[in-house]
């Protein structure tokens, strides 16, 4: 997705995180969203419970699937996993940038075939702050580590990144213009941050250069998930309009 020519439809810029335990609960939520959303993120909890069948069900219902598996293993194993996921029809797939250049290059090669998902390199999880990084031996700040890993990922052939709202502006300025920047840690103003450390509102993230936002609990745990999703879509549209006026 070239940032300069990406879709202006807010529905292409929001992925709802189906962080639920099984297919039944996931599809019940999809039904409650009343077609307010086009993209759904399927993470490890749900994928391990439901497998590729859920991905195929969502695709058959006309939705796009962001498969968030954060692959991190030896290069051959990750390449094999990318090939397996390709068969299910997911449009986006995450790998960990921390797996290193050889692993990412192997994943990129496996994803170079027709029908393969676009790969996104996860830089530093939004649950981690400077103290968490120090605990695992990383002396750099989260912002420094995100930029280091993003540069490494791009040099290995990965043209999409996952980072927090705090780093999106720096990555947008540093990386190629077509780089897709996917941003979790989105919270409506005044809402509970939960276990996320580096967060922002939807408007803030879009203004800083985000390509797509991932939103979970503020939508999935809302009394009216469809209304919550529409409110975020309106916030995205308003931020896009403001950005366009400044150009």
Q: Return the bridge partners of 43, or none.
A: 68
Q: What are phi and psi of 143, to 5 degrees?
A: -65, -45
C-alpha–C-alpha distance, residues 41 and 165, integer Å: 18
Please, is 140 exposed, middle or buried when counting C-beta atoms within 10 Å of its C-beta (0-12, 13-18, 19+)?
Answer: middle
Contact 123, 163 (CB under 8 A): yes
Q: Which residues of 90-121 are buried (b: 16+ CB within 10 A; e: fewer)?
A: bbbbbbbbbbeeebbbbbbebbeeeebbebbb
Task: Count other C-beta atoms under 10 Å from residue 53's C-beta.
Answer: 10
DSSP letter assigned to residue 116 = P
C-alpha–C-alpha distance, residues 207 and 221, integer Å: 26
- Please choose, from the candidates 206, 208, 216, the residue with its C-alpha nearest in 3D space to the C-alpha of residue 184: 216
Active-site residue set: 70
């Amino acid at each position: 997705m070239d940032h300069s020519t990406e879709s202006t439809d807010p529905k292409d810029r929001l992925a709802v995180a189906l962080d639920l335990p099984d297919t039944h609960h996931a599809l019940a939520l999809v039904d409650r969203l009343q077609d307010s959303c086009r993209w759904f993120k399927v993470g490890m909890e749900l994928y391990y419970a439901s497998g590729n069948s859920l991905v195929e069900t969502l695709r058959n219902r006309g939705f796009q699937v962001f498969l968030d598996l954060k692959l991190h293993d030896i290069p051959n194993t990750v390449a094999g996993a990318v090939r397996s996921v390709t068969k299910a029809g997911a449009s986006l797939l995450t790998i960990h940038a921390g797996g290193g250049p050889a692993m990412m290059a192997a994943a990129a090669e496996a994803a170079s075939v027709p029908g393969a998902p676009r790969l996104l390199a996860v830089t530093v999880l939004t649950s981690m702050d400077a103290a968490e990084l120090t605990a695992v031996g990383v002396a750099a700040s989260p912002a420094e580590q995100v930029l280091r890993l993003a540069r490494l990922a791009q040099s290995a052939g990965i043209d999409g990144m996952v980072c927090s709202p705090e780093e999106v502006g720096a990555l947008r300025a540093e990386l190629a213009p077509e780089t897709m920047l996917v941003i979790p840690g989105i919270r409506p103003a005044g809402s509970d941050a939960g276990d996320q450390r580096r967060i922002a509102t939807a408007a803030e993230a879009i203004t800083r250069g985000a390509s797509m936002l991932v939103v979970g609990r503020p939508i999935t745990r809302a009394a009216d998930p469809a209304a919550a999703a529409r409110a975020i879509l309106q916030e995205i549209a308003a931020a896009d309009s403001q950005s366009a006026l400044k150009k």
